[in-house]
Structure 1
Amino acid sequence: MKETILKTFVSRFLILILNFGLVIYSTNMWGSSGKGLISIIIADLTIISFFANIFVGSSMSYFARKFRTEEILPFAYLWAVITGILIPVLFSSGHAAEYSGYLIGLSVMSSLLTANVNLFVGQQNIKMFNLYTVLQQLVHIIFIIIIVYCIKITSVNAYFIAQISCFTLLFFITAFQLIKKADFKKILISKDIGFQLFNYGWKIQLSTFLQFLNNRLSFYFLEYFRGIISVGVFSVGIAFSEAVWTVSRSLSVVLYADVVNDTDFNSAIEKTKVSLRISFLITLLFISIMLMIPAHWYAMIFGKDFGETKEIVLLLSPGILAIAVSNIIGHYFAGINKLRILNVKSLAGLIFTIISSFFIIPKWGIKAACIINSASYCLSSGILFWRFYQITEFHIRDFILSKKEIHLLIKKIVKTH
């Protein structure tokens, strides 16, 4: 498991670098208003993905070893197309109606690709999961370069065209890999299988959707009370948060794949604790590095509109660390199909976010959004942390790597080079 974690960490570190490169490029190319628009469209896309992920998300991973590929993939593809078209149409009367065509393309293709990638996770093919997760960033950047500098589309539309092209290309490649191993002559649309996929999927997506609202509701409050430019400035701080979370999310995927396929309770707990301490320490390291960077460097890198970035990161940092821990524990509970606690912790955080945002954001803007997000993250993570340690013993060493683990990590790193 530790070797898989290391490889996953390396791939996520690559994603982190690519993601920062993309953020830097987009802020300098399209400014705070362009970055704000991208953030709102991607937030809309994420909302749509929660509905799509009922079938294309964790259900694909959870049932990959329980049913044949040809029994579950048709449900995922059909659902991806239906939700990818219908839900963006409902959004078309909103703040970005002129971008509804792009939103449909992004929704359909990202959901189709997500189904394939999550199937790799369920098959414990973490190598393919890591590869295509990195390629989603890399190929997106390559398409942006082609569209902006070769085709000469320099508006913010280039960002969305490039992302749709990226998702489409990777979907066809992954579909070919999966379908060639399946026997579609034996395809059978079973109501029972469809029900099981839906029943598991909606429960886990409810928790994920509530947590997303925790993460993104501030965007909509800021847009309403302070305008799109404030969203753009705030979104860079959030981009830092999510870049750091790629580590814990990667570890979570590896853990989830192991827990789903592991029948030993003690083994699953131990794997969770290993992932927990690696996630905690690496996240702490990244936060420390970000806070050591001088404030004026952020303005120099991202543009003059983004001088507040270091302060935003500082205010968000307690919540960033809290989520890094809860991501691991949350995937443990998902792997053993204990989903109620995930809904409870997300709902608690969401209620806090809604109530506090109405009163604080209109007065103090971006700083208030940071404090609210961080406090909400700590609250919801604390609930999950408390529940996990009700079923196991708490030890400080759960957050400290042993000498043996440090030596093993160093040995693996040397081998990879």
Structure 2
Amino acid sequence: MKQKTILTTFISRFLILILNFGLVIYSTNMWGSGGKGVISLVIADLTIIGFFSNIFVGSSVVYFASKYKTEQIFLYAYLWSVLVGIFIPVIFSFIRPMEYLYHLIGLSLLTSLLTANIGLFVGQQNIRMFNLYTILQQVVHIVFIVAVIYIVKITSVKAYFIAQIAGYALLFLISAFQLLRHCDISNISFSKKIRNTMFDYGWKIQLSTFLQFLNNRLSFYFLEYFKGIISVGIFSIGIAFSEAIWTVSRSLSLVLYSDLVNSKNSNDAIGKTKVSLKISFFITLLFIIVLLVLPAQFYVLIFGKDFQETKKITLLLSPGILAVAVSNVVGYYFAGMNKLRILNVKSMIGLAFTIVSSFYVIPRWGISGACIVTSVSYCLSSALLFWRFYQITEFRIRDFIISGTEFQILWGKLWRK
């Protein structure tokens, strides 16, 4: 992994972190804890739908980008995106009432199509374009929110979703033009072998990701059932902090993943994974310390009086945030090596703990209980992944500590940048 690639990815993730925080602050002040709860549940539904679409769209596109022709990959990715983006939200609407069904259909369709394009950039090791589009998703969303609220004059929480749909549509069209202008239409063809291979890889890795998502989000639904939608909005701020911090480790992991699927050297893959572990551990720890140093009143000032528990929520979640940030790197190592069974096992263990403990803890301790359950679950599943990784390599404490020399190199590059 080139140091320049890691550095530019870190800088782009830091910008996304700032933009995420800005969006969270604005949405909580604009629509309150109730509106934030609605947004959180719609995004949770969108993420669930994403697991179905990502069978042909997410890691499958990245993994097979260097193995098959672009035209053949996109044929299945685009068709699958349309089918899943329309039909899965409709199926969800029969399970429970959905006020924002049409917005969810638009979001799921466009998110999947855009993810396919970005995945191909990663698979082609074009990390610059990957970084650019992940930043633009946040920037364009914010710009369109401002336009919808202050120009179109839609001030309800619906504005959040309309802006996101418009932004994703624009980015999809631009990225599709960049990619498809280099494609040869004559190469577009149906291949049973490619379809089956992509599906086999995709469903296995998405099963693990889906189980991990349930582990991350199940507390939302338990909180809504036992304590109401406002408690979901309050708790979601802590989860938003978690996921904002994880953008750094996930992006470093994608850079690693891009290298691994194009590499044949297993020793080199382990070395690159350990470098990513160090960087992810150091950066995540730094962000957590910053969040915990801020006084509780700061969060009230930023998010409003409903969010006075935010510092406590962050404190309770912090062990799990750090564990997952680092284990994300190990998870992408196993995905890049096509060793998917351990990912499913670790996700099932975390999910089983979340389900069993939530029935007892959340009704009694509410938001604090949800934080404890979530954090312990994160630590359990991450510990299993670390144990398996260090069965195949030697464990050293320095795998998690940036040396003085490495720090000077990183600082020097940052300063020059």
1:243 is displaced (CA, Å) by 0.7
For 1:368-407, list aligned pairs within 5 A: 368-407=369-408
Please list the CA deviations of residues 337-382 of structure 1 after superposition, one character each: whole Å capped at 9, or x if unmatched: 0000000000000000000001111111100000000000000000
Give 3-state SS (helix, strand or coil) of 2:189's partner. Answer: coil
Q: Is there any run of 5+ residues in structure 2 with no aligned partner, and where?
A: none
Please list the CA deviations of residues 38-72 of structure 1 after superposition, one character each: whole Å capped at 9, or x if unmatched: 00000000000000000000000000000010011
**Whole-angstrom CA distance in 2 between matches of 1:55 and 1:109:** 15
Moved over 4 A (4+): none
Please list the CA deviations of residues 307-361 of structure 1 after superposition, one character each: whole Å capped at 9, or x if unmatched: 0000000000000000011100000000010000000000000000000001111
**Whole-angstrom CA distance in 2 between matches of 1:150 and 1:164:** 17
Are 1:350 and 1:376, in contact at CA under 8 Å, matched by a contact in 2? yes
1:95 is displaced (CA, Å) by 5.0
For 1:102-113, list aligned pairs within 5 A: 102-113=103-114
Residue in structure 1 matched with residue 35 of structure 2 by the alignment: 34
**Whole-angstrom CA distance in 2 between matches of 1:267 and 1:6:** 20
**Whole-angstrom CA distance in 2 between matches of 1:97 and 1:12:** 33
**Whole-angstrom CA distance in 1 between matches of 2:285 and 2:162:** 36
**Whole-angstrom CA distance in 2 between matches of 1:91 and 1:162:** 23
Please list the CA deviations of residues 139-159 of structure 1 after superposition, one character each: whole Å capped at 9, or x if unmatched: 000000000001100000000
Residue in structure 2 matched with residue 336 of structure 1 by the alignment: 337
1:185 is displaced (CA, Å) by 1.6
For 1:215-234, list aligned pairs within 5 A: 215-234=216-235
Once the two structures are overlaid, the 10-residue window that deviates more, 88-97 or 175-184, is: 88-97
**Counterpart residue identity of residue 241, structure 1:** S
Are 1:349 and 1:377, in contact at CA under 8 Å, matched by a contact in 2? yes
**Whole-angstrom CA distance in 2 between matches of 1:167 and 1:72:** 21
Q: TM-score, normalization: structure 2?
A: 0.99
Residue in structure 2 matched with residue 247 of structure 1 by the alignment: 248
Residue in structure 1 matched with residue 308 of structure 2 by the alignment: 307
**Whole-angstrom CA distance in 1 between matches of 2:99 and 2:236:** 21
**Whole-angstrom CA distance in 2 between matches of 1:291 and 1:414:** 27
For 1:16-415, list aligned pairs within 5 A: 16-94=17-95, 97-415=98-416
Number of residue pairs the alignment of both structures matches: 416
**Whole-angstrom CA distance in 1 between matches of 2:398 and 2:409:** 17
**Whole-angstrom CA distance in 2 between matches of 1:124 and 1:249:** 16
**Whole-angstrom CA distance in 1 between matches of 2:280 and 2:223:** 30
CA distance change for structure 1 residues 18 and 95 in 2, over 3 Å: closer, same or farther? farther
1:96 is displaced (CA, Å) by 5.0
Q: Is there any run of 5+ residues in structure 1 with no aligned partner, and where?
A: none
Are 1:319 and 1:374, in contact at CA under 8 Å, matched by a contact in 2? yes
**Counterpart residue identity of residue 196, structure 2:** F
**Counterpart residue identity of residue 155, structure 2:** T
CA distance change for structure 1 residues 95 and 230 in 2, over 3 Å: closer, same or farther? farther
Are 1:92 and 1:98, in contact at CA under 8 Å, matched by a contact in 2? no
**Counterpart residue identity of residue 265, structure 1:** S
1:405 is displaced (CA, Å) by 1.4
1:403 is displaced (CA, Å) by 2.3
CA distance change for structure 1 residues 278 and 96 in 2, over 3 Å: closer, same or farther? farther
Please list the CA deviations of residues 251-298 of structure 1 after superposition, one character each: whole Å capped at 9, or x if unmatched: 100000011111111111010000001100110010000000000110
**Counterpart residue identity of residue 209, structure 2:** T
1:415 is displaced (CA, Å) by 2.1
Please list the CA deviations of residues 164-185 of structure 1 after superposition, one character each: whole Å capped at 9, or x if unmatched: 0011000000100110111112
CA distance change for structure 1 residues 232 and 310 in 2, over 3 Å: closer, same or farther? same
**Counterpart residue identity of residue 8, structure 1:** T
Are 1:41 and 1:96, in contact at CA under 8 Å, matched by a contact in 2? no
**Counterpart residue identity of residue 210, structure 2:** F
Are 1:345 and 1:384, in contact at CA under 8 Å, matched by a contact in 2? yes
**Whole-angstrom CA distance in 2 between matches of 1:74 and 1:311:** 48
